[in-house]
Structure 1
Amino acid sequence: MTNFNHQEVELLSELIFALEMSQGDFRLFLARCNNLTQRDRLIQQLQASFSGDLAQLQLDESVRELYATIGQQLGDQQPDAFMVWGLESVKDVDKLLVSMSLVLDEFRKNFHFPILLWIDAEVSRKFIRLIPDFENRASLTVFETPTQELIDFIQNTSESVYQKVLESGEGIFLEHTALGVGEFVYQELLDAQQQLANRGIRLEAELEAGLEFVLGRTADNLEETAFDHYQRCLELWKRLNNQLRVAHTYYYFGFWCRSYEIRHPEDKNMLCSLACLYYQQSIEGFEVINRPDLVAKFINAWGEVLHRLERWDELENVAKRAIELHQTYSYPFREAFAYGLIAEVELAKKQYKQAHKFAQKALKIINITLASASNFSSKNEQINLDWERYYHQGKYLFYLAKAEKKLGEIKACIATFEQAKDTTKPEYNPEFYIDILTGLREIYSQEKEYLKAFNVKQ
């Protein structure tokens, strides 16, 4: 068993022996392992080492009853042993565990083979609390993760996630798959941190700061927990005088404020103002360490929140700086976004010809870039392209239509509004889609009144 420590080898060998000796009888075995990478490695070794017919089941989040699910998979078959993993991913695991207790006799009567369940510490606690009758009959094997493996897991995950979010800039929110981590990495990292603390191991400040950043990034950004992780992260990076990481953390403070606003719309102005401050501190931090490439990657978020706050003069300065940077570093989609911001500034200042010009500029850039990017095939690239195609493109059309309306170009305005409606997918931003429909309804009403007045004069 290569890559296994002595304790793991002994425990796994004992577990395999117990499973093989229990063939022909129902018996429940629990294998507790908090680290999914370690668990997967152990499962692979068990699969390779078990001498009999080992049936297997990986649960998905929708499973509600274990007994029925096993029965459906096996039919009339009676394997030598049955192995189950994925309990931590089940949405209503409490209900699943309780249902097991209700059919304990059915397990004993109909399953004449041992069942091995892989669980983590949280599911283990639920076993004790919810179904002690099952837990008392089970044989538990605990696989502790070696200290260095826990440290390496934290180190590798922290560095990998940080590099991905730094490369992405202020683009769309990266899901777990795009970050290259599992869905439950937040809990895995917390468990690793707690296991090390229980062993009296204190992380070095740099590693702890990296961990806190990833915990903030992988936590629910709609909750205050993420903010607390960023706060601890910022304190540590400041203490270490790492200005790059400080600047990047400030950006994610702003990002958190924008996300938190979703559940707290009553605090919109306060949260937007805070986000604006954090974004400004982030950009100024990148400038202090002479990283204009990172200023270019993150500056649009500052401009977007200035737009929401209707701080037009500040927005104009930020957007113009952004355009220069995007041209320097060849970020056409970001450049188009900045031109869209300036179009909004000109609309607010009632400079409709200028607004028309900048909206057209944004559309020209995005159309050319989308056309040249049509052959991109990676999943992450496709997600970004979809946002540009089905949301941002519609925004620039919307700005153009508003300028055309004010310039009295009614037919052109209607056509542009219709194009914006057809281009935009409402799921990307429901509020913006409603704005398009409202603008379209108003221009149709205006056209109707114009034609009515024209006919009266005739």
Structure 2
Amino acid sequence: MPNFLNLKYWLLGTEANESIYARKHLLQLSLVCRFPMDKLVDPKIVASVNERSLNRLLRGVSLSQGQFSLVLVRCNSSQLRQKVLQALQVDSEIKIESLILSPYTKTLYTTLLENVEKNSPSALMILGLETLENLDIILSSTNQVRDEFRKQFNFPIIIWITDDIVTGLIRLAPDFKSWAAATIKFELTTTELLDYLKLQANTLFTLAELKIKVWEPKTQRPFKSTVSRSFPSDFGMGCNRRRELELHWQDLQNRGYELDPALEASRQFILGQDGDAHDQIEIARQHYQQSLALLQHEAGLRGYTAQGELPGQVSSVDVMTPPTSGPLVFCLRERQGIVLFHIALTYCIQATRNPNLVQILLTEAKRYFEQSQQIFQQAGRPDLVAGVISPLGEVLQRLQLWEMLQELALGGVKMHLVYGTSSQLAQDYVFMAEVALKRSEWRRALMLAKLALTILPESKPTVSQAQCLLLLARCYQYQGEWQQAKQKLELALTQIQPQYNPQLYLNILEELRDIDYQQGQYRQAFRIKKKQREIEHQYGLRAFIGAAQLQPPKQAINPSSNQGENMVTIAEEMMASCRQHDIQNLLHRLSRDDHKLIIIHGRSGVGKSSLVNAGLVPALKNTAISARDCLPVVIQSYMDWTRELEQSLASALLNCASLKYPDESIKKLWYKVIAQSSIQDWNNRNPNQSYEEIPVDCILNSSSNGIIY
């Protein structure tokens, strides 16, 4: 037990001298007082434990020279592991080679065999097991070929593992694990664990701050490289930083500690981001609300009100005052503002997906955005105040609060000239142009829209760019310049995809249809109207589409989600029309190797295309066949169908997040598919040759699992 008299003097010394060393020592003593059974609080004890573990590791390598032995080393901290590796290089008389596994490693045994064929090491250390994407499969295969390790390797193998890998070894490779002696462990002190969690909390909210500063909703699906998909600063599920964070949370829990409100608020915020990333809006908002409540509770304990001021004080901070805190120094007020911002975003995306509740949901979003902005203002963070202006303006625009929008945009111009981006500044002028248009100030609206378009970067499609082009088209249409208006609208359609902002996309189509109708192009106007109704039906804005091909229902993409597209579901009309049995029958046929070609036949209008597009394709996207994910590609042009198939398949591969080919380009993959499918023989055929004239035996020789016509 600690000497409480010494603790008292340390308290007095801390009040007199706020040194970092004094505060750190005080924290260690207080932790010992709270949890006297936790020996890992004392740095001396932890250093002694780690020293003994290092000696055990060195001794095991030395005694196993010339023979196979398996050494398992458990360490949950990447920083501590790096220190141990440096100590091994200094203290070991035997040269220990290192092998860092690639995340795409298929088997452990063959990887080791290929590595040691060139030169047999005295000892081999394996790192990166926690980064493997197919860890369970690799552990199972390792257990099956465990005897080959003794036959092929006559040197000690050191495998670095974490707590979750230990569980996997016990479950999937118990025989392989039994060859190792007791696992060697390296530990962090409890104080170091807490320091790490606090550092990661600062990093977490720093990244959230950057998101607010440069906030800009997506308009098109970006191409995501599967190689550089995870960043070192990412807290998403599956990334290295997140895995280590969860291991440290578990370490503290195993030692009998509970996270303080500030750290628990950070954990809840991360869980909220998980919900956002997986498009689980309600779950995300619940975690954000818990994070906000914890931050407000902690602020109350430290003498702040919910708005971040001392009781009885009134804020007098100018919004143009430069920020007073550094990038890693966050007060509780700023964190509350960040969480409020994310809560508001959840209401925004729900408003886009629920047209019947738009007014209620947008009003809630407005309230949370305003609270967030108020807290940032009180905290002296005008850079964050400026970041909230654009999303708040979009809410005011959708609520048609034009006077408030005009006032916000005028203030936004001043703020964004100092702290914002060019896109945010352009968005302010778009808001003012929209207000001018509602006031029938056509010349002013035209001038503001042109100014916004001049500010925006041409190479990057944005919502502001599409809105600018729509406003310009409306101004030109009022002036009778139909051709210019049509050009702007057609250009606007290329800047945005409906799944990112369906209402804006529909507004552009509506203006384009009106122009075609005014110019007497009735056929084209009808086609656009038909497309409008299809999109409205898909996104739940229209209940009945009429006699037309059904498409799978869609919903607007969450801008905070990491998914390229939302989950595709079977259309309700398919279920209501008893087509579920037909869909299951098709899935059963596709899962069999003896059904290479499937032909769906029936009279015109019975629903063949609807069955494929609104029933079979969504079912395939959510089904695995023979342990493989399905990538359905639909083509409807039969004249030059091989070229159409190439373009459609390349597009599907680019947009499929589950495909991981780090070393091959999409073009090489497509050529490989062509070679395997024997389609290359058809490239020299007459483009006017119809589908029925293509030899069926060529299709039957295809290596694909099934072709449906």
Please report the TM-score for the alignment, with normalisation by the length of structure 1. Answer: 0.77
Whether the aligned pair in 2 keeps the contact of 1:414 and 1:443 (CA below 8 Å) is: no
The amino acid that maps onto 1:31 is V
> Match for 2:413 among 316, 323, 331?
323
Identity of aligned residues (%): 28
The amino acid that maps onto 1:162 is F
Matched, 1:187 2:243: yes
Write the deviation string for residues 63-90 of structure 1: whole angstroms up to 9, x where unpaired. 2211122223333532222222222222
Give the whole-Å Cα distance in 2 for the aligned partners of 1:141 and 1:21.
Answer: 16
> Match for 2:485 among 365, 388, 413?
413
Give the whole-Å Cα distance in 1 for the aligned partners of 2:155 and 2:454.
Answer: 67
Write the deviation string for residues 257-295 of structure 1: whole angstroms up to 9, x where unpaired. 557889x77998476554343223212333455655432
What is the CA-CA distance between 1:59 and the residue it aligns to?
2.3
Matched, 1:103 2:145: yes
Which shows bigger deviation, 147-156 or 316-325?
316-325
> Match for 2:520 among 442, 449, 454?
449
Match for residue 5 of structure 1? 47
Whether the aligned pair in 2 keeps the contact of 1:20 and 1:80 (CA below 8 Å) is: no
Relative to structure 1, is the Cα distance of residues 451 and 24 closer, same or farther in structure 2, using a 3 angstrom cutoff?
Answer: same
Give the whole-Å Cα distance in 2 for the aligned partners of 1:413 and 1:117.
Answer: 66
Match for residue 77 of structure 1? 119
Give the alignment of 1:231-270 within 5 angstroms: 231-239=289-297, 240-241=299-300, 243=308, 244=333, 245-257=335-347, 269=358
Give the alignment of 1:367-446 within 5 angstroms: 392-417=464-489, 419-420=491-492, 424=495, 429=500, 438=509, 442=513, 445=516
Write the deviation string for residues 213-242 of structure 1: whole angstroms up to 9, x where unpaired. 456457754346654443332112212145
Structure 1: any 5+ residue segments left out of the alignment?
371-385, 453-458
Give the whole-Å Cα distance in 2 for the aligned partners of 1:267 and 1:11.
Answer: 63
Whether the aligned pair in 2 keeps the contact of 1:417 and 1:436 (CA below 8 Å) is: no
Give the alignment of 1:121-132 within 5 angstroms: 121-132=163-174
Whether the aligned pair in 2 keeps the contact of 1:170 and 1:301 (CA below 8 Å) is: no
Give the whole-Å Cα distance in 1 for the aligned partners of 2:284 and 2:522.
Answer: 56
What is the CA-CA distance between 1:322 and the residue it aligns to?
2.5
Which shows bigger deviation, 292-301 or 282-291?
282-291
Write the deviation string for residues 98-145 of structure 1: whole angstroms up to 9, x where unpaired. 111121122222222222221211121111112211222223222222
Relative to structure 1, is the Cα distance of residues 255 and 138 closer, same or farther in structure 2, using a 3 angstrom cutoff?
Answer: farther
Which shows bigger deviation, 85-94 or 196-205?
196-205
Structure 2: any 5+ residue segments left out of the alignment?
1-45, 218-228, 309-332, 524-709
Write the deviation string for residues 7-38 of structure 1: whole angstroms up to 9, x where unpaired. 22221221132123223323222212222222
> Match for 1:298 among 369, 373, 388?
388
Write the deviation string for residues 344-391 of structure 1: whole angstroms up to 9, x where unpaired. 455567765444333212112335xx8xxxxxxxxxxxxxxx75x666
Match for residue 275 of structure 1? 365
Relative to structure 1, is the Cα distance of residues 246 and 181 closer, same or farther in structure 2, using a 3 angstrom cutoff?
Answer: closer
Relative to structure 1, is the Cα distance of residues 292 and 220 closer, same or farther in structure 2, using a 3 angstrom cutoff?
Answer: closer
The amino acid that maps onto 1:195 is D
Matched, 1:197 2:253: yes
What is the CA-CA distance between 1:58 and the residue it aligns to?
1.9
Relative to structure 1, is the Cα distance of residues 323 and 354 closer, same or farther in structure 2, using a 3 angstrom cutoff?
Answer: same
Match for residue 32 of structure 1? 74
Structure holding more helix per residue: 1
Relative to structure 1, is the Cα distance of residues 194 and 336 closer, same or farther in structure 2, using a 3 angstrom cutoff?
Answer: same
Give the alignment of 1:197-236 within 5 angstroms: 197-210=253-266, 212-213=268-269, 216-217=272-273, 221=277, 222-223=279-280, 226-236=284-294
Match for residue 376 of structure 1? none
Give the whole-Å Cα distance in 2 for the aligned partners of 1:119 and 1:178.
Answer: 20
Give the whole-Å Cα distance in 1 for the aligned partners of 2:441 and 2:476.
Answer: 12
Give the alignment of 1:112-123 within 5 angstroms: 112-123=154-165
Match for residue 333 of structure 1? 423
Whether the aligned pair in 1 keeps the contact of 2:109 and 2:149 (CA below 8 Å) is: yes
Please report the TM-score for the alignment, with normalisation by the length of structure 2. Answer: 0.52
Larger Rg: 2
Whether the aligned pair in 2 keeps the contact of 1:421 and 1:433 (CA below 8 Å) is: no
Relative to structure 1, is the Cα distance of residues 358 and 152 closer, same or farther in structure 2, using a 3 angstrom cutoff?
Answer: same
Relative to structure 1, is the Cα distance of residues 439 and 294 closer, same or farther in structure 2, using a 3 angstrom cutoff?
Answer: same
Whether the aligned pair in 1 keeps the contact of 2:74 and 2:184 (CA below 8 Å) is: yes
Give the whole-Å Cα distance in 1 for the aligned partners of 2:122 and 2:362.
Answer: 60
Local SS of the residue matching 1:449: coil
Matched, 1:134 2:206: no
Give the whole-Å Cα distance in 2 for the aligned partners of 1:43 and 1:219.
Answer: 37
Local SS of the residue matching 2:178: helix
Which shows bigger deviation, 286-295 or 60-69?
286-295
> Match for 1:147 among 148, 167, 190?
190
Give the whole-Å Cα distance in 2 for the aligned partners of 1:259 and 1:133.
Answer: 50
Whether the aligned pair in 1 keeps the contact of 2:214 and 2:421 (CA below 8 Å) is: no
Match for residue 573 of structure 2? none
What is the CA-CA distance between 1:150 and the residue it aligns to?
0.5
Relative to structure 1, is the Cα distance of residues 93 and 345 closer, same or farther in structure 2, using a 3 angstrom cutoff?
Answer: farther
The amino acid that maps onto 2:255 is R
Whether the aligned pair in 2 keeps the contact of 1:216 and 1:225 (CA below 8 Å) is: yes
Whether the aligned pair in 2 keeps the contact of 1:55 and 1:81 (CA below 8 Å) is: yes
> Match for 1:365 among 412, 435, 455?
455
